[in-house]
Structure 1
């Protein structure tokens, strides 16, 4: 058995190598296709995921892999979960806020996570019982306990406005400072203590499970909109908060 610290070190090496694949296509106008859910995909997505899969297969040959582009392989209960380019729309428009996500689950529970930001040269990593780090330096969430003083990100605002208009209307009047965003980076900034909360919508397991491991390792809270732990079966609506008190206020707001 490989312990979590060793797994994390190996996973960091794997994602570092794969980041070079993604960056070789960044701002180089890769061909864009549209998937069945109308989301874009590029050769960078598929090649980057394949690089991560190849690294995982060499390091952990008996373990399952589930990725955005190629689905699931293997039937082990120990499973790696991949989003090779989280934020393909950012990637194809030259915005450096796309990320690379890798998580490891045992019995359906996230044990470690990596949020790598290739164009920013930042990598956030955390594991159960090991804390969280950014580029090797320890990080932790803020101590913000009230929504009125919170630095709040509202992710996927266009989808929220269309499908949860009452929630969106409450969110845009909440927090001391508000920003609209998308993808993994606002959650990473919660782990770093620079942002206090993120409300997110319409995510897939490979979007939220690796991120949740980092946030929780940094001392934060990340759940679905009912306050339940995130699993492969969660509905894709998530709340990330620095403290339980702030998380409770967000729960009350989205369920008012």
Structure 2
């Protein structure tokens, strides 16, 4: 059943998401490396900056006009509305990097329909890159405002030739997977910890082959899913489900996925 007289097409939704990303980039870059950046500690001990809240407020205000029938879930201001169409927003993924002047951060903007991410945009202006995808229309990357090019994951088929990015060791330990991660690291050819959105976009570009982490929320994951899957990869939780609320994410080039999950099961 439609939530409005005529549900938008995914092409229209993607256009909205790209517009939001461009506006988010302007707001965030204006505050990046600012001497008067406002930083606060949240209840979960993570930090939030005035750039995070400004970006999310802008996105919500825009969606209220452009998609008034849709629901919104954002990291900073929670859930609003009820609809089978839900926008899922992380205004700045990598806030700690942003606050310390590390350029690996960006806006994550997704649209999930019936709980399945169908549109994803990841925009990292300090890196000069933006990635996007919508279901059935491929995944794309743009460098420094140039022409978009299609994304494709790697064809690496053996763990011994693969590169793994594991992000935060502490959370692998917290969730009881550190020993399994160490075992996986011994099987692959190379390990790195690129962190946050960067690892997953490198995967979609075919530069690495496996990425994963724990203690993630839906807004950390939703935008990544269409980009990786449309590039030919696969995204699940550590237990192999496709839920967005299970606090873990494992992404691969697809070929390696089952073997990676098997090793993580111990």
TM-score where L is the length of structure 1 = 0.95
CA distance in 2 between counterparts of 1:204 and 1:210 reads 12
1:116-150 CA distance string (max 9 Å, x none): 11211211101110010001211111111221111
* CA distance in structure 1 between the partners assigned to 2:253 and 2:125 by the alignment: 25
Tell me how many residue pairs correspond in the alignment.
253
Aligned residue number for residue 121 of structure 1: 128
Name the counterpart of 1:83: 90
Partner of 2:153, secondary structure, is coil
Which residue is 1:241 aligned to? 252
| Deviation (angstroms), 1:85 | 0.4
> Match for residue 61 of structure 1?
68
Q: Give SS of 1:181's match.
A: coil
Residue 171 (structure 1) shift = 3.5
Instruction: Give the corresponding residue for 1:177.
Output: 190
Question: What is the Cα-based RMSD across aligned positions, in Å?
Answer: 1.3
Match of 2:138 in 1: 131
Q: Where does residue 3 of structure 2 map in the other structure?
A: none
Tell me, in whole angstroms, the C-alpha distance in 2 between the residues paired with 1:45 and 1:65: 16
Distance 1:146 1:58 in 2: 49
Asked if structure 1 preserves the Cα contact closer than 8 Å seen for 2:164 and 2:185, the reply is: no
**Equivalent in the alignment of 2:263:** 253
**Is the 8 Å Cα contact of residues 157 and 181 (structure 1) preserved in structure 2?**
no
Tell me, yes or no, if the aligned pair for 2:175 and 2:214 is still in contact at 8 Å. Answer: no
Superimposed CA distance per residue, residues 55-109 of structure 1 (whole angstroms, 9 cap, x where no aligned partner): 2222111111110000111111211000000001100110000121000011111
Q: Structure 2 unaligned runs (5+)? A: 1-6, 143-147
Contact 1:67 1:83 in 2 (8 A): yes
1:154 — aligned with what?
166
Deviations for 1:32-62, whole angstroms, at most 9, x for unmatched residues?
1111111001101100111111222221111
TM alignment of 1:93-104, pairs within 5 A:
93-104=100-111
Offset at residue 22 of structure 1 (A): 0.7
Equivalent-residue separation in structure 2 for 1:188 and 1:230 (angstroms):
20
Runs of 4+ in 1 over 4 A off after TM superposition: none
Gaps of 5+ in 1: none
Verify: 1:216 aligned to 2:223, yes or no. Answer: no
Given that 1:154 and 1:171 are in contact with CA atoms closer than 8 Å, whether structure 2 keeps it comes out as: no
Structure 2 length-normalised TM: 0.91
Q: Give yes or no for contact 1:209–1:230 (8 Å, CA) kept in 2.
A: no
1:99–1:185 Cα contact (<8 Å) kept: no
SS of equivalent to 1:155? coil
Deviation at 1:236, TM superposition (A): 1.4
Does 182-191 or 156-165 show the bigger shift? 156-165
CA distance in 2 between counterparts of 1:85 and 1:15 reads 11
Query: Is the deviation greater in 75-84 or in 176-185?
Result: 176-185
